[in-house]
Structure 1
Amino acid sequence: MMACCFGQLACTESTKKDLLAPTHPNVVIILADDQGWGDLSHSGNRNLSTPHIDQLAIQGVSFDRFYVQPVCSPTRAELLTGRYHLRSGVYGTSQGQERLDLDEVTLADVFRAAGYATAAFGKWHNGTQYPYHPNGRGFDEFYGFCSGHWGNYFSPVLEHNGELVRGSGYLADDLTERAMDFLEENKDRPFLLYLPLNTPHSPMQVPDRWWDEFKGKSLPMSLSSELAEDLDYTKAALAMCENIDWNVGRLMGKLESLGLDENTIVIYFSDNGPNSTRWNGGMKGRKGSTDEGGVRTPFFIQWKSTLAAGQVVPQIAGAIDVLPTLVDLAGIPLSPTKPLDGKSLLPLLLDAQQEDWADRTIFNHWNGHTSLRTQEFRLDKDGNLFQMVSDPSQSSPVNGLYPEIVTQLSKAKEDWEREMYRERDESQRPFTLAHPDAQITQLPARDGIPHGNIVRSNRFPNDAFFTNWVSTSDSISWDIEVLGRGDFLVEAFYTCSEENVGSKVGMYIGSSSLEFQVGEPHDPPLTGMEHDRVERMESYVKDFKPMRLGIVHLRPGKASLRLKAHEIPGTQVMDLRSLLFTRIHETME
């Protein structure tokens, strides 16, 4: 089941040396968010045009059957580690379940140790507080957001290397601009650039330039009425995909203008299936499903000076293979402290018709459901076997025709689930606070626990805030572990109407505490709907303002951080988006 990266290659060592010496290729990984396999013109979708992404397949190698996980953070964890996400502590998408275990070695760790400049621009979704933060996982540079989704795509509040900043313009464009600046700044040294874009994940926001092309457009490949496709949602998603394509074109143009395109490996894929019911090649399932449509994405890899253009690899592969493949291509030694599940795809990149490439099994898991894929078959979460070449829509189970294969794959599934369960650490992982290498730590509402009447603004926590704080018996808590010691300025990002000003609140962390009063009104309206092309499922957002609470002294150890009001002169205390801790100075006692 598990494979390490070296010693498994069908090509000879001399071939490898000829191929890889001493180029030190740059690496660019572009990851779309919720873009399905069918959301490209390269896949045959006539509803949109994606020439720049398609060109990566034309000038590079495309994998015809490439598999990720059904949702965002598990796929990202597998990309970063080469290991199944359940091994690395990632078993959810919010409230700490998205965090990558700290003893995992990431792709960025490996490349930075080899002398590469490393950067990530976009949606991280594998931990917020340092050292779960991207700057603690091997990335020298980070600009974007760490949450699972964001509530505003037009000049939102983001972070740059842990500090809060204001974005500039449409988010996908802004992230690409930052990526192009990074290319310029590091053109004279090898680099690893990770560009995890936030689109076409909802909320469905896209500039007029892209929306206007689709809003009145008739889609030639819309689904039948029985499938209940939301055409406006589809149009918004496709408009966002065309915007991604434009940004890919800009990024590739920058590489060419800098003379870097020949010696840069460029990878493009998505983190899961489409986020709505729309054309996806007739496959069963969408985002969140372990069926084919929920886990198959495009995967293109281009290295102009080295890989033959236009190859199509028919063998199955997955996100777990990216790390071992890239270290092989870059000639970087890898001695993993933990066994990898992925394997190097280098033999297939050199020869897509590898005759001695062994069949393998790739597992997909989400929300307690597991399916698995071999070259020919998929065993779904319910134990139904499908012959995928002839039946990509999984419409006709073939259990009766292949009882031995059903038995074999059912056992493989049970063994895999048992192994993943054994490796899963059920112990509590508190949210980390005050790490010695972090000047600032954020504790968002997403990671807190409301008590009493307090609720989140939406059932999806990632961009939500706490509201309905109406009683002195209500409280908010965070399960934390303080990792450093010192004095910290504490700020709350809040809103409060004028008639509710005056609440007195205490904050308690172990033996430390402070008292504060909500002294100034700040009551902006909810926003986001003015940019939405279709009604969103997630929380709307507000312009939360920082309020200084005071200075608190922290000591290492596990504790509960709790906010509790003592006096509420109005009808409620405030709405709360997050707490921000800024180190003032370190102490040695």
Structure 2
Amino acid sequence: MRTDLKIVQWLFCALVAAFTVPVVAEVQARRPNVVVFLSDDQGWGDLSSSGNTDLETPNIDSLATAGASFDRFYVCPVCSPTRAEFLTGRHHAYSGVYSTSAGGERMDLDEVTIGDLFKAEGYRTGAFGKWHNGMQYPYHPNGRGFDEFYGFCSGHWGNYFDPMFERNGRIVRGRGFCIDDFTDNAIAFMEKSVDQKKPFFAYLPYNTPHSPMQVPERFWKRFSDRPLQFKNEQQPNKEIQSHKRSALAMCENLDWNVGRVLEKLDTLGIADDTIVVWFHDNGPNGTRWNGGMKGKKGSTDEGGVRSPLYVRWPHAIKPGTKIPEITSARDLLPTLCELADISFETEKSLDGVSLKPLLIGNSEGWPDRILINHWKDKISARSQQFRLDNQGKLFDMIADPGQRKDVSKEHLDVVASLVEKVTVHREAHMAGYFVDDRPFVIAHPDSILTQLPARDAVAHGGIERSNRYPNCSYFKNWKNTDDKITFVAEVATTGKYKVVLYYAAKQAGADCTLRFNDASLRFQIAEAHDVPERGAENDRHPRAESYVKDFRPVGIGEIDLRKGKGELTLRATAIPGAEAMEFRMLTLERVSLE
């Protein structure tokens, strides 16, 4: 009897396993991976799917034909706010983002990101490209839910070929053209995730066609001198051909890299189980064709904030789905979470809503919405039919998509409704919008290395920035011992830290001191490092931002830092030559904790 019972038990268990294992495997197979592409300064009109036949973007276009395309999807007028709204599902004014540099691009630390949510559910999370929402941990992507990060945290970068990047906080040298390099690393991340049988969330925040206008030769050759047909309809005389041609070439390079990712998903056999998203962070960074819309980057008009949104997921989204309802970058967090069956209930309320009903063809009962587009002191409101611009003018966006005729007198009730929404938003946020008392966090216990670039510092005396745009700048003209460089900082953990200085100098010998509260470190610029600026050799169009140099990293000693707030100060106490040095960055590497 016991033998018979064991046989019965064995058969029962075998039957359970036979039915259960395939079911579990099927559920795991259906758990979607996510790939999010975000381009930088690419206008709505910079795709062939938008009707622009001056360029070819078949891979990006395929996401629309094989999935869903949103006709009226809105982002912010500039980079960092859009990234913050995607990452948090909340309006950027809630999260502390008010600038694109010098700390104003950081999201408050109590914000929960889409990386946090997917990571908590067992996803491998990676970001590859331009972060632009904080550098020092825990503002760093590794502190915001991303296991892997490769790229740069600044708002723009000074050279796109073999540049200085970072990998999980460590300084590394990039390989080749940056967009190709980011894609290589993202693909390797996807391959490793598949090998480990884990779902992945891959975020590719690309940094082109943002200036400097650099692109590999084979893409530039297609645009360098051939005739172009499409011109800006409202301001054709303001087009600059070298800039326009560079941007279009960079967009074709983006498309080529998207194609590489899509091909890899096919090769790995996971295309059907991967959600792929494509959108842009703001309007075009120059005057070029943009569907006849008013405005470009920096503007809260339609042309400054309208972006394509394509979402492909063969498992659930019908090919060729077209969605006319107005939507926002803030909607992507709840949408992707719901599609992946991930809870997005947080202590803070979301401004975005899940777009899943629209994606699966169920628009019944979809609410009327008013979306606020805001940057600095400019606020615009968009309903399904109308836009109230920053000056209080009203435009019927269906009859007049170019915003040429003010119809406010004909629709006083609409004006009143939109003005009320703008007023509520302004009163809720503008009083403290530019107030920022957050120090730069250094020496955090969860990060071995802290970067302190010139971008985040304040220069005193005669010291000058290499450019008025701080993001990838350095300091020069350091001629007097009364001059100094300071960082408003907070040491998160008491300990000993190795300090590395990135510098250039025509002459050695300057005596310097680094001080934080009672701690100090004296050192000397022992060797000259006189190097030229780089970048112009790769520019297809003259840049507005700073050029860069091959700054030399040198260890200058160790400093004992105690937990607390203060001012990190760098001084030159003796300058034997004409200039102490040119300053690019300090790094602090933890040696020991107290």
TM-score normalised by length of structure 1: 0.95
Structure 2, unaligned runs of 5 or more: 1-25
Aligned to 1:12: none
Residue 427 of structure 1, CA deviation: 4.9
Aligned to 1:335: 345
What are the superposed Cα offsets for residues 55-114 of structure 1, whole Å, 9 maximum, x if unpaired? Answer: 000000000000000000000000000000010000110000000100000000000001
2:192 is equivalent to residue 185 of structure 1: yes
Aligned to 2:178: 171
What are the superposed Cα offsets for residues 460-508 of structure 1, whole Å, 9 maximum, x if unpaired? Answer: 00000000000011111000000011111111100001xx311111111
2:318 is equivalent to residue 311 of structure 1: no
Aligned to 2:263: 253
* Residue correspondences, number: 566
Structure 2 CA distance for aligned equivalents of residues 416 and 567 of structure 1: 52
Aligned to 1:240: 250
Name the stretch that deviates more: 325-334 or 40-49. 325-334
Q: Is the 8 A contact 1:290 1:365 kept in 2?
A: yes
Q: Is the 8 A contact 2:32 2:199 kept in 1?
A: yes
Residue 52 of structure 1, CA deviation: 0.3
Taking only aligned residues, the RMSD between alpha carbons, in angstroms, comes to 1.4
Structure 2 CA distance for aligned equivalents of residues 406 and 222 of structure 1: 32
Decide whether aligned partners of structure 1 residues 58 and 161 sit closer, same or farther in structure 2, where only a CA change above 3 A counts.
Answer: same
Decide whether aligned partners of structure 1 residues 202 and 427 sit closer, same or farther in structure 2, where only a CA change above 3 A counts.
Answer: closer
Residue 226 of structure 1, CA deviation: 5.0
Q: Is the 8 A contact 1:125 1:148 kept in 2?
A: yes
Structure 2 CA distance for aligned equivalents of residues 289 and 55 of structure 1: 29
Matches within 5 A, 1:82-101: 82-101=89-108
Residue 424 of structure 1, CA deviation: 5.0
What are the superposed Cα offsets for residues 423-463 of structure 1, whole Å, 9 maximum, x if unpaired? Answer: 75835100000000111000000000000000100000000
Three-state SS of the structure 2 residue aligned to 1:252 is helix
Aligned to 1:383: 392
Of 368, 386, 393, the residue aligned with 2:402 is: 393
Aligned residue type for 1:405: V
Identical positions, percent:
53
Residue 24 of structure 1, CA deviation: 1.6
Aligned residue type for 1:185: K
Matches within 5 A, 1:111-510: 111-187=118-194, 188-223=197-232, 227-351=237-361, 354-421=363-430, 426-497=435-506, 500-510=507-517
Three-state SS of the structure 1 residue aligned to 2:408 is coil
Structure 2 CA distance for aligned equivalents of residues 312 and 422 of structure 1: 40
Residue 23 of structure 1, CA deviation: 2.3
Q: Is the 8 A contact 1:27 1:266 kept in 2?
A: yes
Residue 20 of structure 1, CA deviation: 9.3
Residue 22 of structure 1, CA deviation: 7.8
Aligned residue type for 1:257: T
Greater Cα radius of gyration, structure 1 or 2: 2
Structure 2 CA distance for aligned equivalents of residues 516 and 427 of structure 1: 33
Aligned to 1:583: 590
Three-state SS of the structure 1 residue aligned to 2:405 is coil
Structure 2 CA distance for aligned equivalents of residues 142 and 171 of structure 1: 14
Three-state SS of the structure 2 residue aligned to 1:314 is strand
Three-state SS of the structure 1 residue aligned to 2:203 is strand
Structure 2 CA distance for aligned equivalents of residues 411 and 584 of structure 1: 55
Q: Is the 8 A contact 2:98 2:434 kept in 1?
A: no
Residue 355 of structure 1, CA deviation: 3.4
Q: Is the 8 A contact 1:21 1:331 kept in 2?
A: no
Name the stretch that deviates more: 501-510 or 279-288. 501-510
2:112 is equivalent to residue 78 of structure 1: no
TM-score normalised by length of structure 2: 0.94
Structure 2 CA distance for aligned equivalents of residues 102 and 421 of structure 1: 20
What are the superposed Cα offsets for residues 353-382 of structure 1, whole Å, 9 maximum, x if unpaired? Answer: x23211101111112100010100000000
Three-state SS of the structure 1 residue aligned to 2:573 is strand
Aligned residue type for 1:208: E
Structure 2 CA distance for aligned equivalents of residues 576 and 423 of structure 1: 32
Aligned to 1:523: 530
Q: Is the 8 A contact 1:20 1:330 kept in 2?
A: no
Residue 227 of structure 1, CA deviation: 3.3
Runs of 4+ in 1 over 3 A off after TM superposition: 19-22, 223-227, 421-427
Structure 1 CA distance for aligned equivalents of residues 475 and 91 of structure 2: 33
Three-state SS of the structure 2 residue aligned to 1:313 is strand
